[in-house]
Every structure is written in C-alpha cells, then in structure tokens.
Structure 1
Amino acid sequence: MSIMRCAGIVSYNPDIERLRTNLHATVQQVREVFVYENGSRNAQAVQRLCEDEFTNVRVIADTQNRGIAFALNRLLAAAHDCGYPHILMLDQDSVPTEGMCDELERHLSGDVAIVSPFILDRNRMTMAQYQEMRLPAIERLKHAARSGAITSGTLNNVSAALAVGGFDDELFIDYVDFDFNERLLLNGYSIVKDNRACLIHEKGKSRHTPFKIPRRRSDGKIVWAPLFTLGYGPMRCYYQARNRVVYWRKYHRWTKLEGLVELPPLIVLSMFEPHRLAKLKAYCRGIRDGVRMPVKEYRK
C-alpha cells in the first residue's frame, strides 16, 4: 500500500449501505480516509459505521451543510496537515474498483495535478459494456468543462490544489469541479484521464430518453450521444443553471455564449421528470441569478 495518499469523502444524508461499500473498497487502497460529515440527518449512523467497522477512517463532523466546495477544501486541508501529498476524492456513493488508485498514481508526477479514472455510471452502462469499449489508455484533458474531470474518483496533488486556491466555496454545488479544473489548467498544470482505471459512480438517477444530441468527446470528435434524464431535484437544477452562467462569466467566455448551450437540453430533460414545473422555475431562477451574481473575473 502506498503511504503517499489518503482519501476524502463528503457525506450528506448518505445511503449507509452504499457508503459502507464505498469505504470497504477505499480503505484497502489508501492509508487513511477522511469523511467530512456535512450535517446529515443520519450523521450518527455515519459516525457509528466509521468507528465500528474501520480503523483508518476519521470523521470530520460539521453541524450544517456548507456545500460540496467547502467540504472539499476541508478535506484538502486535512490531507495537507497530515502530510499526504495525494488525496483521492470520492462522492459518498462512488465505489473505486480494485487497483484503481495504484493505476492513477502512476501518472501523478511532474505538472500533472489530477488523474481521473473512467467514470462508469451504474444507471447508464454495465461493466461488460465498459470492458468492450475501445478507449485510448491515456487522455490528456484540454478542456475544464467539456469532457472535464469530475471530482469523484480523482487522485489530486494536494500542493497543486492549494496553490490555485482549492475549490470555490461560493459555488456550493455543481461546476465546483470544472471551476477547479479551469484554474489548474490556466496555471500550467495538466489533467490526465486513465481509462484503464474505473470508478463505479451514479450521477443523479439517470434514465434513457428517446433523444440523442451531438456531444464533443475529449478527443475533439463530435458524436451523437443518448440523452439521459438526471433525476435531480429543483435545488440542483437551480445550481446547475446558476453556476454554469457564473463559470463562463468568470473565465472571460461570456461573449461566446457557450455557458448557455446545454441549458435548453437540461430544461427539456426536466420535462421527462416529476416536479417539472418546479424544475423549470429553478432553471430560470438560476440563469437570472447567474447573470446578476457578482463575479470576479479570473486571471493567473
């Protein structure tokens, strides 16, 4: 086992069995796991799980939900304070496959600040389908938000993360990862994706729709890809819209209107889900607040 890495998990109202599966898969791949308990309703159950079943899991308890970005920054600080140069970031319901961390760590040197695995969404793909795919073994990601690295499953260089200011607390949730990626790229760091390492993940509660839309892959090729619903509640719809607009304003790309390109499909998707009117209103509020929100343009 490498002594050079720890893991950080943000916990917020988790399914305890899924969190248990996550932890059992993770503790064997790192020296220590930090669980940031973000004011869950079942916080005591999370604490009992970590204390009763594991010797290398430490809970950092909070009494309220301060957002994913705030929690990720506390995990970065814990890794730094304990002398870990590398931290594996995980969502509470993500499960790293065997050997994932060893594979990722092979590439975390030089200017590489993040190494991401292939993300296998359990609601969209099976393991057999993943194994049949013909993917490049290694990709060097050029874009932060288009085919960028989501936070879950990434092995991060702690010093690089802190050098660019960590995660933006004001974003709370959604686009937190892409904003972080952008600052790393702008400061000369690299982001690598290793498709031989695999994380089992769940993005909302996805399901197929009858539609396909053009999407640009990380290799630049545009393909027709299935459109999935996300299954998010109105609050997540609000932050998706608001933070997408804020992101493009923040990084000098507002005039390209790229920040709004995928909002119509997201709004259409909400029409296939329950509470569609509430979600539509949330998207509209998010766009409005994203335009109004004070944003400090980023410069290196």
Structure 2
Amino acid sequence: MVLKVCAGIVLYNPEIALLKKNISALSPQVEKVLLYNNGSANFREIKTEFSRYDGVEIVDGKENRGIAFALNQILFWAEKNGFPWVLTMDQDSVCADNMIAEYSKYSNSNEVALISPYVLNNGKTTLSELKAMELPNVTEINDPVKCITSACLTNVKIAKKLGTFNEKLFIDCVDIDLNCRVLEAGYKILRINTTYLIQQMGVGKTIPLFEKLEKLTHIDIFRRAKSAAVYPDIRLYYHSRNSRYIRKKYKIHGKQTTAWFILLYYIYFSIFYPSDRNRFKMWKAMIKGFSDYKIPMLWEKS
C-alpha cells in the first residue's frame, strides 16, 4: 500500500544542523514537509536555508502560540492539501529511514487513529538494545502516555472528529490529551517496533549511578532513570498544571500522570538536576502549575 503522507515540524529556535538531519531523513519518505515557525528568533536563517529545499514549505506563525496551536495548523494544512495522514515531528528528532514504509502496513484500518515508533530517547535505549529485545512487530498501546507527538502518524479525519489538539494546554501533555480522547472513543494507537525515532527530550543529563546499576542488573527502572531530561522552570509549570488537568478529566490517563508518580518525578529532578538550578524556583513553578489548574478560565472554550 502506498501511503499518502505529509510531515509537519514545529520550529522554535531550532539548531539548524540537527534540523537538516531531521529533514534529510523525512523528505525521501513523504510527499511534503511543512515547517511551521512558532516564533523562532532565527527564522531568517531558517528561511534562507530551507526555502531552497524541494518538497519543503515554510509557514511563519509570527509568534509562539503554543505547541498545540502549531500542531493544529499543521493538521489543517494537511487536510487542505488532501493528505489523510500527517506525520508530526519535533525539530530535534531524527526518524529511521524505513518509518513510513513500516507504518503503511498498518494504516488501512478505520480503527487506527495514531501510529508511533519505538522511541530511543536521551540514550536510554540504543538501537542494538532494541533489536535484542525481540519485540513483536506491532504493539497496541493502551496507556496514553506511551505515544508521543514526535514521529506520530495521525489520521487527520479522526483527529478532527475528536476535536484536534487542545490549545489551552499550550505545551506539555498535549499529546496525552489527544491520546486519551482517541482511546476513550474506541480507536487504536499502534506502536511499530520495526522502526524507531531518535529523540532528545530536554537537555539530557546522564546519572552515572543509575547507568552502572542498569548495566549490572538490567532492571528497566534503572534504564529509565539513567538519563534525566532537564527542563526550564516554565516547562515544569506547564507539566504540573497540565498533568493535573489530564488526570482530573480522563478515567484512563496513564500511570505517569498520577499524583504520586508526578511527585516522585519532581523529587527525582530535584536530586539529579544540575547543581546550578535553583530548587526553590523549580518547586515554586511546579506548585503554581498545580494550583493554576483550578482557574476555570484556563479551560473555558474560546
């Protein structure tokens, strides 16, 4: 089956060299690549560099209105240009060269809303380790946390039917929110284990203690903990606020959005973040996010 697919990348001050790798991996696999600029300070450089690329279109959003707004613009652009499927990508990710070919094997079902790859993030799992796992070719995802936006192939018709991305969230948990609605509506999310994404979440910091423990024991929790994604305080604010929104709104929201998991997650950050980070400001941002969930106007429809 030949899949008619476009790709969309949301840009916010991207590293040009890494974005080149991203686009080079994508372009041979899709018909069009849309670069949606979300208020980048280096937009002139982006435009100069990528305007000459065949099959690449650039849309300047002028200002940063949040990842959800940008993703919706990509979704609407895909629909307008006759693409039933759109691959959404982060600017700092690189996809495998067989991604769309593998996805196309599972895209002919009306029940499938989202298709994702196995994610190799922050060096927690290597490609050789993935191959050694001997996973089934496809896994049906029932935990909404397990499918991220980057390299997710989205059924445009279903996403629009379910209300598209929630722009009130701005950033963080935007993908989880849509995933929850997909699962509640009875549609399927698939993870294709025969392809992969190399993903950098935040600025990864290796934790030597957990790295050694993972090598000694091969216990999965140490693999997950051996690299911490280092986020700015504003991201911690949105994560705290939006994860609370998710667990209050949906019955099936995933273990990683529970209050206890989030608390332990933030304690982990407090211990292992770089020493120059101000812990007081970090916790102030997280507590404010938790509290701001209660503001009704944040969730009212525009």
Q: Is the structural similarity TM-score above 0.5?
A: yes
TM-fit CA distance, 1:36: 0.6
List per-residue Cα deviations over 1:16-75 (Å, max 9, x = no partner): 1000110011011000011110010001111112112x1100011011100000000000
State whether structure 2 residue 97 is matched by structure 1 residue 95. Answer: no
* Of 186, 189, 203, the match for 2:187: 189
Residue 104 of structure 1 corresponds to 103
* Of 184, 199, 222, the match for 1:201: 199
Residue 246 of structure 1 corresponds to 245
Residue 264 of structure 2 corresponds to 265
Taking the aligned partners of 1:79 and 1:10, their CA distance within structure 2 comes to 14
TM (norm. structure 1) is 0.88
State whether structure 2 residue 55 is matched by structure 1 residue 56. Answer: yes
Residue 283 of structure 1 corresponds to 286
List per-residue Cα deviations over 1:206-265 (Å, max 9, x = no partner): 2344469xxxxxxxxx963442421100011101100000111122579x9963122222
**Secondary structure of the structure 2 residue equivalent to 1:36:** strand
CA RMSD of aligned residues (A): 2.4
- Range with greater deviation from structure 2 (223-232 or 160-169): 223-232
TM-fit CA distance, 1:292: 3.6
**In the TM superposition, what are the counterparts of 1:1-300 in structure 2 within 5 Å?**
2=2, 4-52=4-52, 54-110=53-109, 111-145=111-145, 148-209=146-207, 210=209, 224-225=221-222, 226-227=224-225, 228-252=227-251, 259-271=258-270, 272-273=272-273, 274-293=277-296
Matched residues, number:
284
Among the aligned pairs, what percent are the same residue? Answer: 34
TM-fit CA distance, 1:106: 1.3
TM (norm. structure 2) is 0.87
CA contact (8 A) 1:116 1:192 kept: yes
Cα gap change, 1:107 to 1:93, in 2 (>3 Å): same
- Give the gaps of 5 or more residues in structure 2: 212-218
CA contact (8 A) 1:204 1:231 kept: yes
Cα gap change, 1:2 to 1:285, in 2 (>3 Å): same
CA contact (8 A) 1:234 1:279 kept: yes
Structure (1/2) with the larger helix percentage: 2
- Give the gaps of 5 or more residues in structure 1: 213-221
CA contact (8 A) 1:250 1:296 kept: no
